[in-house]
């Protein structure tokens, strides 16, 4: 058993070219990588960053954020504990984190 909400993560600064506001950092811990699928925990501290997504499904464990979709254009989503989201490879997003966001994710 793993307590994904309590795993200690080592953080690194978000690369400058992705930062939109603040000084966000991210941390990652892979729980399993079997048959090409990855299950992990990812966390981002407050701030805003641009990203290009991979195929994944995630559930928010803690924190608060908004994800805006720059390509393809879609309505923004507000993330809170319990939010379940499906992202597709190549989506261009803008993550604005208000409270450190932690998610459990699975890539196919």
Which residues in the chain show pLDDT less than 70? none
- The whole-angstrom separation of Cα 30 and Cα 38 is 7
Residues in the chain: 108
Domains (range + CATH), the chain: 11-107 (2.60.120.10)
At residue 1, the pLDDT reads 82
What's the pLDDT at 78? 98
pTM metric for this prediction = 0.93
Residue 106 in contact with residue 39, Cβ under 8 Å?
yes
- What is the predicted pLDDT for the residue at 2? 86
Span between the terminal Cα atoms of the chain, in Å: 21
Alpha-carbon separation of residue 85 from 10, 13, 57, 103, 104 (angstroms) = 24, 24, 6, 10, 11
């Amino acid at each position: 058993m793993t307590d994904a909400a309590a795993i200690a993560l080592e953080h690194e600064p978000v690369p400058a070219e992705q930062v939109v506001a603040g000084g966000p950092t991210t941390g990652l811990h892979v729980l399993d990588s079997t048959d090409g699928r990855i299950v992990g925990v990812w966390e981002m501290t407050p701030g805003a960053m641009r990203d290009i997504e991979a195929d994944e499904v995630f559930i928010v464990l803690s924190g608060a954020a908004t994800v805006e979709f720059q390509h393809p254009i879609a309505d923004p989503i507000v993330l809170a504990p319990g939010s379940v989201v499906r992202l597709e490879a190549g989506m261009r997003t803008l993550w604005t984190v208000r409270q450190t966001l932690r998610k459990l994710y699975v890539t196919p």
